[in-house]
Structure 1
Amino acid sequence: MRDTLSVVTVVVVGMMVGVEFAVAVFVNPILDRLPEDGGIGARSDGARVLGRVMPFWYVGSVVLGGGWAAVAWGDAGAAAVTAGVALLVASVVMSLLVLVPINARVATWSREGAPADWKQQVGRWDRFHYVRVAVIVLAFALFAVALARA
């Protein structure tokens, strides 16, 4: 049971990290280079789609990590799992306090209806998103270390 839980957790968190990394490093920079504010509609659509999916993915990752930490308590790697879960919880809190409010605004935009400061708003989202990506990458690394120790 513990082995299955640890592998599923690493896979789920790893895929989440991959998606968030791709958004930060590839997708949003490409959208920002589209001519004539062409990225507004794509960012808005991405905010709506990922805004529906990612909360379940983040919370699911925390639950899986918490379950793994509980069943591995006292074993080798349990401290790494616990630290990874704490980082995921921090990423959820950061998301709720900073990223979700911006994302909710972006989700309502269209090319014709974006506010004048839309570039500043998505720039702020991007900067906080880079921090969140770093946090979840570290959580993933801790989970991978714990899995290797199991």
Structure 2
Amino acid sequence: MLNALEVVTTVLVGVMVGVEFAVPFFINPILNSLPGDNGLRGRVHGARVGGAVMPFWYIGSLVLVGVWAVAGWDHDGTGLVIAAAGFLIVSVLMSVLVLVPINNRVKTWADGDRPADWKQQMQRWDRWHYVRVAVIIAAFTLLVAALA
């Protein structure tokens, strides 16, 4: 049962890393290259979709890693799992304190109805998102190492 938990948790976190990695390195550059404000429209839609899904994904991943740490307490690699949980906690805190407030503003923007500093807000979100991606990559790496 512990093996199944380890695999499911690692895959779930890995897919989350892949999705979050794709945003700044693939999706946003594509959106930014679209003519007019079509890129902004895509980001607004992404803010709505991501805002609905990501809280469950981040919290669910953290819960699964916590269960793994408790269930595998006497096994090799538990320290790595606990460290991964620490990184996921940091990612949740970053999300709640910095990224979600920006995301909540972005998803309310309609055609022509956006603040004058919208580009600066997008750039701030992007910078913090790079950091969050690095943090969850670190967590994923630790989980993979714990499996080895």
- Residue 21 of structure 1 and its aligned partner are, at CA, apart by 0.3
Q: How does 1:33-112 map to 2 (within 5 A)?
A: 33-112=33-112
Contact 1:40–1:111, Cα closer than 8 Å, also in 2: no
Residue identity matched to 2:50: L
Distance 2:66 2:93 in 1: 16
Report the CA distance between 1:68 and its aligned residue.
0.3
Where do 4+ consecutive residues of structure 1 move more than 4 Å?
none
String of CA shifts for 1:48-99, please: whole Å, max 9, x gaps. 0110000000000000000000011132100000000110011000100000
Q: Normalising by the residue count of structure 1, what TM-score does the alignment of the two structures yield?
A: 0.96
Letter in 1 for 2:66: G
Partners of 2:77 and 2:13 in 1: CA distance: 17
> How far apart, in 2, do the equivalents of 1:69 and 1:114 lie?
44
Partner of 1:135: 135
Partner of 2:5: 5
Give yes or no for contact 1:38–1:111 (8 Å, CA) kept in 2: no
Aligned length: 148
Contiguous gaps of at least 5 residues in structure 2: none
2:147 counterpart residue number: 147
Q: Is the Cα–Cα contact under 8 Å of residues 40 and 114 in structure 1 kept in the other structure?
A: no
Q: Distance in 2 between matches of 1:114 and 1:33?
A: 19
Q: Kindly, what percent of the aligned residue pairs are identical?
A: 60
Q: Which whole-Å CA distance do the structure 2 matches of 1:145 and 1:71 have between them? A: 17
Unaligned runs of 5+ in 1: none
Name the CA distance, whole Å, in 2 between partners of 1:111 and 1:22. 25
* Cα deviation, residue 16, structure 1: 0.3
Aligned 8 A contact 1:40 1:110 in 2: no
Deviation at 1:29, TM superposition (A): 1.6
Residue 18 of structure 2: aligned partner: 18
Confirm or deny: 8 A CA contact 1:40 1:109 kept in the other structure.
no
Q: 1 CA distance for matches of 2:39 and 2:115?
A: 14
**In 1: Cα distance, 2:77 partner to 2:24 partner:** 30
* 1:107-150 residue CA offsets vs partner (Å, 9 max, x unmatched): 011231121211110000000000000000000000000011xx
**Residue type of the partner of 1:128?**
W
